[in-house]
Amino acid sequence: MKIVDQFRVVLVLILGIMALALLTWGIGKIYLELIGQSSREHSGDIQTAQNYQKTNQDLILVLPEVKFWTCQVGLFQQEPNAQLIKDQLIVMGFQAEVISANPWMVGIGLVHSANELKELRQLLEEKGFSTIPKQIMLPERSFRVAGNGGQLTAELLKNTNVILEKGFNEEVLAKEERLWATQAGEHPPKDLERLHQFYSQIRSKTTPEEQKAVGLSLFFESQRVINKFSGK
């Protein structure tokens, strides 16, 4: 009897040790799985943060030097006088802009040679405005573009710079439309809306002359966007 009891005790001890070993192994496995999952989640968080940082990283936008011509309608020492002439021209149907300060210059049209301004200058003179052809020269510019819509901003400004450098064509106008459709989303950046509106207005024109007449507004609005992102 004693031998049987001793055997039972030994058997119970063996079973207890086996159960404890299995329990320890199970806990260890669960712990390792949790550690692995935490490591994967941490790596995923790091990757997500890196992707976010990359997506929102400042873009360095370089715009090459450009030259174009406009029709200078007036040059004024006082801004109100320039704004008055601009408003008068707009009422007459001319897309005028004040494109400089101290002194303030009022201009109309965007072309790439003084000769292209002949018809517009003649039309303005018939309305009582004296004009001169004026060449606008923009040096190479470099600045940072950051935040939501940064990529779209950079692409639209580069596209506009091509127009200032080479003039209007269907390709650059269509490119802006594609960029806006694919990147602007349901809530487009407000700072780009007027630039897009001028592109749409130019696309609606039926002749190159009409497009050139609106072109200076495209330039003016692009400069406003650039100045905003440059902190000016």
**Domain spans, the chain:** 1-55, 59-229
Which pLDDT score is estimated for 46?
A: 46
Burial (CB count within 10 angstroms: exposed 0-12, middle 13-18, buried 19+), residue 102: exposed
Which pLDDT score is estimated for 56?
A: 45
* Long-range residue pairs from 81-90, CB within 8 A, at least 24 positions apart, any chain: 82/106, 85/129, 89/129
Which pLDDT score is estimated for 166?
A: 92
Q: Which residues contact 215 (CB under 8 A, 6 or more apart)?
A: 109, 110, 111, 163, 168, 202
Question: Quick check: bond before 188 cis, omega within 30?
Answer: no
Q: Which residues contact 136 (CB under 8 A, 6 or more apart)?
A: 67, 68, 69, 70, 99, 219
Least Cα distance to 111 among 121, 103, 101 occurs for 121
Which pLDDT score is estimated for 139?
A: 94
- Taking the C-alpha atoms of residue 112 and residue 119, their distance in angstroms, rounded to an integer, is 14
With a cut of 50, list the residues of the chain below it in pLDDT: 1, 31, 38, 41-42, 44-56
In CATH terms, the fold of domain 59-229 is Alpha-Beta Plaits (3.30.70)
Which pLDDT score is estimated for 60?
A: 87
Report the amino acid identity of residue 33: E
Which pLDDT score is estimated for 186?
A: 86
Which pLDDT score is estimated for 14?
A: 65
Contact 216, 183 (CB under 8 A): no
User: Running DSSP on this structure, what letter comes out for residue 230?
Assistant: T
Which pLDDT score is estimated for 169?
A: 92
